[in-house]
Amino acid sequence: MERIEKLINPHILSLQAYSSARSESNLKEGIFLDANENPFGNFNRYPDGNQNELKNILSKQLNISKSNLFLGNGSDEAIDLLIRIFCNQKEDKIGIFSPTYGMYQVSAAINNVDIEEYYLNENFEILEETLKEIISNKNLKILFICSPNNPTGNCIKESKIDFLLENFKGIVVVDEAYIDFSSKDSFVKKVEKFQNLVVLQTLSKSWGMAGLRIGLAVSNPLIISFLNKIKPPYNISLESQKKAIEILKNKKVFEKNINKILNQKEELKKELSGLSFVEKIFPSEANFLLIKCKNSEKIYQELIENKIIIRNRNSQIKDCLRISIGTKQENKILIQKLKEIDEKGIVY
């Protein structure tokens, strides 16, 4: 782990973490007069800052040890904390593979860290020459690889990520926000093998808990310990932890909903391919479809006027729209409207 320690910002490496009242006593029951809480009310007590019960369930599900698991206020929190742990504002950069999820760049900018932007090829895959460039770039500290990628929907080839894990000297973050919708394997099982790997997952998408704000980082115990050291002490609320524990216990509902979403994705694909203005439907391992259209701006606006909101990605990928998979009823209304747009010929 010496290699990883060398990558950590010196001021973080020597940081004395905040010690909260509850973590010092470590008692679960008793008369609590240690944290200046109000003795009245239903939400008067601070939540478990270590999220022990929630971590018990999640670590069992992922077949990892609790020391391999960090929980953040959404995986967006983990993205920010990783940049703060590893990147020095003056010389370090993060590497991103565009088009991709926007938060890596925003988090870097907030932390005054520069980015190195590599472009994916026409199939949204990492280029061979990009791999070489990355290995020789001395300023790169973290790579953020989103797989399945948002907004393109495809997974990045496992062999390319493996190459980077083996040859890149910095940290490789694999963001698996959509992995439960995918047929591909998670990188979680590779955390034992590669010291420089951090896998991000979230309860926001496949588990349908975006409103609770719970994200996961899976890595070796050293990196996890630093994420825990620098996070706000009570980063996940009491109610969020409680609700998540409740929902996670019902794996049947989770599986049923994923199946529904995947079936609807196939249905939507079929319907979209029948529209004259749809030029391409990109392969998707996620709960959304990216489509290339004639006059995408017009279609986007027309849908908005009918209170159907999809994501306009035209600025990122020319003429492309991203559509999240909704319920059967929602998708039906969307298709109905798109057929109307097609029949009226208003895109031409």
Chain residues in the site for ligand PLP (CB under 6 A) = 74-76, 101, 146, 150, 175, 177, 202, 204-205, 210, 215
**Which residue's CB is nearer to ligand PLP, number 197 or number 341?**
197
Instruction: Kindly list the distances between the CA atom of residue 253 and the CA atoms of 191, 207, 239, in Å, as whole numbers in the listed order.
Output: 29, 9, 21
Residue nearest to ligand PLP (CB): 74
The least CB distance from residue 219 to ligand PLP, in Å, is 16
Answer for the pair 163, 131: CB distance below 8 angstroms, yes or no: yes
* Whole-number Cα distances in Å, 24 to 1, 33, 35, 66, 225: 28, 13, 11, 20, 17
Give whichever of 202 and 264 is closer to ligand PLP, judged by the CB atom: 202
> At its nearest, how many Å lie between ligand PLP and the CB of residue 205?
6
What's the token pair of residue 327? Answer: 């319920």
Q: Helix (H, G, I), strand (E, B), or coil: what is residue 157?
A: coil
**By the 8 A CB rule, do 153 and 285 touch?**
yes
DSSP 224: H
From residue 164, alpha-carbon distances to 100, 101, 132, 133, 232 in Å are 18, 19, 10, 11, 31
Output the smallest distance, CB 101 to ligand PLP, in A. Answer: 4
DSSP state of 180: G
| Least distance (Å) between residue 124 CB and ligand PLP | 13
Task: Compute the least distance from the CB of residue 222 to ligand PLP, in Å.
Answer: 23
The candidate with the shortest Cα–Cα distance to 320, out of 342, 296, 339, 285, is: 296
Place of tokens 């926000």: 177
Q: Are 81 and 9 in contact (CB under 8 A)?
A: no
CB atoms under 10 Å from CB of 345, counted, come to 9
Q: In angstroms, what is the minimal distance from the CB of 104 to ligand PLP?
A: 9
DSSP state, residue 147 = S
Our measurement of the distance from residue 340's CA atom to the centroid of its chain's CA atoms, rounded to an integer in Å, reads 35
Q: Do 220 and 4 meet the contact criterion of CB atoms below 8 Å apart?
A: yes
CA 110, CA 112: separation in Å to the nearest integer? 5
> Residue 22 or residue 205: which is nearer to ligand PLP going by CB?
205
Q: Give the shortest CB-211-to-ligand PLP separation in angstroms.
A: 9
Nearer to ligand PLP, 68 or 75 (CB): 75
Contact between residue 252 and residue 113 where contact means Cβ atoms under 8 Å apart:
no
Task: Kindly give, in sequence order, each residue whose CB lies less than 8 Å from that of residue 174, ignoring residues fewer than 6 positions away.
Answer: 145, 147, 161, 187, 197, 198, 199, 200
